A and B are shown apart, each in its own frame.
Chain A
Amino acid sequence: MEEWRFIDFGPVDIRDMMAMDEAILKGDEGNTFFFWTPKKSIILGFFQKAELELDLSQCQDYTITRRISGGGIAFSDDRCRQINYGVVGTIDNDLFPLDITKSYKQICGILIDTLIHYSLNAAFRPINDVVVDNKKISGNAQTRWEGKLLQNGTLLLDFDIEEMLRISNIPIEKFMDKKIASIREGLTWLDRELKEERNMDEVREVMKKKFEERFRVRLKPGTLSKNEVELAEKLKPKYYSSEWVYR
């Protein structure tokens, strides 16, 4: 059986992680599946403007950076109960179709299989969401580079809606309770669906197994290559710079 590299970066500064993310895409180590746990942070999508999306005066204790893929904010509060993954793969084959939405669907299948394992009614919602009973539980973002794709995504185990609203650049509304109730209708997380807190390592193990089944490969623990480490070091200043984050 084909072997693919697997890396668990653990808790990590999101700026370092985004540099490694880009280095894996642009490196030469081939297909890779990886996890990381974001510390308290906000990652902007490639096309977003920080001052339009965020109330920056409320974000001072957050690490903020930007990723190279589009889509919306990925926000992690200090509970850090979310599983972030990355997939790098060569496109235009059975595993990773050229069609963007189809390739999203294929990779999001790992999350759907994982949620079904927990007896949840999970489904893909084009273009890039995974839902449980039509509530979003996972957001995903893909970019492509020289015949390869990089997909990042998050599986929410817990989510603090009030904190998200606090840092967002939305007018404080009179009917904040209604706003929260309406977000609760559209968004969910694993702890809430299962009515208990699952161990994150356990959920990650299920995801790995579902990945191996879906892609018919064996995940082999590995590390970044020397080239990737060097590339990540070169890329880091970008992710730390205000030119990149606040452009």
Chain B
Amino acid sequence: MKQGIHKSKGGLIRSFVGTENGIIDDISISGDFFLFPEEALSKIIEELKGAAAKREEIQKNIEATYKKENIQSPGTTPSDFTESIMKSLE
């Protein structure tokens, strides 16, 4: 898997994404960003499994988890995570 690296204002986001038939089946996200509550990153990851590996789908999916889990991530937005994931998919 290729590492996708994207730097947001809040920190560096590293992601590794695997797909099968255009569907995300394996994903890891790490980096030096901040995200509250911390446990919610695993929720973002869980929700992305099974999603279509397309920019719009990914962004909507992450935005939904942000809303559901009441996530705050100063300096980092759902589009920053999306950008890192898209770079891994390139």
* Bound-complex Cα distance A235 to B33 (A): 24
Is there contact, CB below 8 Å, between A52 and B36? no
A100 CB within 8 Å of chain B: yes
Interface residue stretch chosen among B7-15, B18-26, B59-67, B82-90: B7-15
User: A70 and B33 in contact (CB under 8 A), knowing A52-B14, A100-B74, A101-B74?
Assistant: yes
User: A47 and B33 in contact (CB under 8 A), knowing A70-B11, A72-B11, A127-B9?
Assistant: yes
| Chain B, interface residues (CB within 8 Å), range | 20 to 34
Interface residue stretch chosen among A15-23, A32-40, A116-124, A137-145: A137-145
Q: Contact partner of B10 among A68, A69, A73, A127, CB < 8 A?
A: A127
Q: Which of B36-63 contact A (CB under 8 A)?
A: 36-38, 41
A234 CB within 8 Å of chain B: no
Expressed in whole angstroms, the minimum distance between the Cβ of B51 and any Cβ of chain A is 20
Expressed in whole angstroms, the minimum distance between the Cβ of B78 and any Cβ of chain A is 16
Closest residue of A by beta carbon distance from B9: A127
Is there contact, CB below 8 Å, between A52 and B30? yes
Is there contact, CB below 8 Å, between A100 and B32? no
A89 CB within 8 Å of chain B: no
Neighbouring B residues of A144 by C-beta, 8 Å: 36-37
**Can you name 18 A-B pairs with beta carbons within 8 Å?**
A46-B38, A47-B41, A49-B14, A49-B28, A68-B38, A70-B38, A71-B11, A71-B33, A72-B11, A73-B32, A100-B34, A100-B36, A126-B74, A126-B75, A127-B9, A127-B74, A141-B34, A144-B37
Extra pairs beyond A45-B32, A46-B38 (16, CB < 8 Å): A47-B30, A47-B31, A47-B35, A47-B41, A48-B30, A49-B28, A52-B3, A69-B34, A70-B33, A70-B35, A70-B38, A72-B32, A73-B32, A142-B34, A143-B38, A144-B37
